[in-house]
Amino acid sequence: MHISAIIDRFRPALGSFEAFYQDIHQYPDLSRHEGRTASRVARQLRRLGFPEVYENIGGHGVVGVLFNGPGRTVMLRAELDALPIREQTGLSYASSECVQDENGDWVAVMHACGHDLHMACLLAAAKLLFDARAEWSGNLVVLFQPDSVHLNGARSMVGDNLYDGVPKPDVIMTQHLGPSRSGTVGISGDTVVPSADHIDIRIFTSKGHAANPQVAVNGVAAACGIASQLEDLAQRVGGGLDASVEVEEIRGRAPRPDEADHVDLALVVRAVDPAVRQRLFEGIKRLALDQCAAAGAHREPQISRYAWPPAMENDKQLAASVRQAFVQHFGAKRVLDGAPCPRCVDSSMLSPQPPDARNLLWFLGQADPHAFRSARKAGRLLDAVPLEHSPLYAPVVHPTLETGMEALVVAVLLFLSWAR
């Protein structure tokens, strides 16, 4: 049976999956605290009929496994966590959650990256594939990863013996909402997400009061001096290539309100080219040393670098085959050329060693088609259509949910279909 015919025959009703999406959106979980979301995902997988469901892998990770005869193994991946952002969408199911983060601060929580819709699409696809299991052979692994915002979840799941009970995948497939109109998919055979590094800079102060600048080292001013030059550094070092440096946090550590021991500056560095990645790190080190010396600090700054995932490239042969299958199913007008994503995705870190799994990531359109076309025509796309990490981010549920479900199923069946 043709893939599109299988989808048409076994297409599930999506009401329960939309309800799941709205529930997760209204009650999101912060990274490393995804207990409620993970519990609901595991419950859904068991209701769908998955015979093996594993929980609490690498934190709150959830995995469902369906063994369905001889053949290869496909892993589909989605994320569990939300962001510390106060929602301003005005949706009837908008989040009003507020929780304590790891620093003890109270923060609002919102699914401003689309992970809630990723989960709903994957669960709907799992339902369709389970019901259509007479039409394919192999192993299906559906994985819901914690702590994707900090890019530690994939590594944690593998380190927590993920593959002791779960078959090692031949291919890992991920889809992520992107800045295009709902109903479309974008796929490319090139680099699709940049590498990322987390850089922590600790600036040591003199414990003097800011009212006496002649004897005090102002760590906040030094941190701001570094931060103000990062955009220029990325442009100079990047040389037109994809590169960015993001200030994640500036935090003063104070034993008393008028006295500080040190100021911490947390940065995220993203780059496509490995050489640019290293030059950015060296440039940040020079900036930190110069600013601390200019502030009169008696100690050099403490600089730590935590290497996160490398730049991810799609398997070119697999990407070409899946793109052709998308065109056959959706039509050429709904299949776009993928573009590098400014955000890092750590799904490639799920690859077992050895053997390496082939990786494939594509983008799922999420914006209202009419608003998207009007904004692009007016040259106001960036400010008129809220993108990821915006408090106004509200993906169009339909046809995004349908398209995301179908895209996952098309890719899996292309890899696992066989004639019985």
Report the CATH number that the domain containing residue 363 is assigned in CATH: 3.40.630.10
Instruction: Decide if 12 contacts 128 (C-beta within 8 A).
Output: yes
Q: Does one domain contain both 21 and 117?
A: yes
Q: What are phi and psi of 65, to 5 degrees?
A: -125, 130
Q: How far apart are CA 217 and CA 370, in angstroms?
A: 54
| Cα of 175 vs its chain's centroid, Å | 10
Q: Does one domain contain both 142 and 221?
A: no
Tell me which of 307, 324, 350 is where a domain ends: 307
**Residue 4: burial class (beta carbons within 10 Å; 0-12, 13-18, 19+):** middle
Tell me which of 270, 288, 307 is where a domain ends: 307
Q: Does one domain contain both 145 and 16?
A: yes
Q: What single-letter DSSP state applies at residue 82? A: B
Q: What are phi and psi of 321, to 5 degrees?
A: -65, -45
Tell me which of 48-62, 82-96, 205-219, 404-418 is least confident. 205-219
Q: Does one domain contain both 145 and 188?
A: yes
What tokens does 70 get? Answer: 């001889």
Range of the domain at 226: 195-307
Q: Does one domain contain both 31 and 73?
A: yes
Q: What is the mean pLDDT of residues 223-229?
A: 94
Helices (H) and strands (E) in the chain, counts: 12, 16
Q: Does one domain contain both 42 and 183?
A: yes
Summarised one tens digit per residue, pLDDT across range 311-344 is 788 899 999 999 999 999 999 999 998 765 656 7
Summarised one tens digit per residue, pLDDT across range 121-169 is 999 999 999 999 999 999 999 999 999 988 889 999 999 999 999 999 9
Q: Does one domain contain both 215 and 127?
A: no
For the chain, the average pLDDT equals: 90
Instruction: Decide if 80 contacts 123 (C-beta within 8 A).
Output: no
Using a cut of 0.95, tell me whether the model's pTM lies above it. Answer: no
In our burial notation (b when 16+ CB lie closer than 10 A, e otherwise), range 281-310 reads bebbeebbeebbeebebeeebeeeeeebbb
Q: How far apart are CA 397 and CA 323, in angstroms?
A: 23
CA separation (Å) from 290 to 8, 200, 296, 301? 63, 16, 10, 10
Q: Binning pLDDT at 50, 70 and 90, where does residue 254 land?
A: low
What tokens does 345 get? Answer: 């995705």
Tell me which of 307, 324, 345 is where a domain ends: 307
Q: Binning pLDDT at 50, 70 and 90, where does residue 387 land?
A: confident
Q: Does one domain contain both 274 and 362?
A: no
Instruction: Express as a percent the part of the chain with pLDDT over 70.
Output: 92
CATH number, domain at 258?
3.30.70.360
- Which residues, other chains included, contact 209 with Cβ-Cβ below 8 Å and sequence gap of 6+? 216, 258, 259
Q: Does one domain contain both 28 and 150?
A: yes
Q: How far apart are CA 359 and CA 74, in angstroms?
A: 10
Q: Does one domain contain both 9 and 100?
A: yes
Q: Does one domain contain both 233 and 317?
A: no
Q: Does one domain contain both 136 and 96?
A: yes
Summarised one tens digit per residue, pLDDT across range 43-62 is 999 999 999 999 999 999 99
- Which residues, other chains included, contact 61 with Cβ-Cβ below 8 Å and sequence gap of 6+? 38, 54, 55, 80, 143, 144, 145, 146, 153, 156, 157, 160, 162
Q: How far apart are CA 230 and CA 219, in angstroms?
A: 17
Quick check: bond before 399 cis, omega within 30? yes
Q: How far apart are CA 44 and CA 389, in angstroms?
A: 27
Instruction: Decide if 99 contacts 106 (C-beta within 8 A).
Output: yes
Q: Binning pLDDT at 50, 70 and 90, where does residue 419 land?
A: very low
Which pLDDT belongs to residue 199? 93
The number of domains in the chain is 2
Place of tokens 């979840």: 153
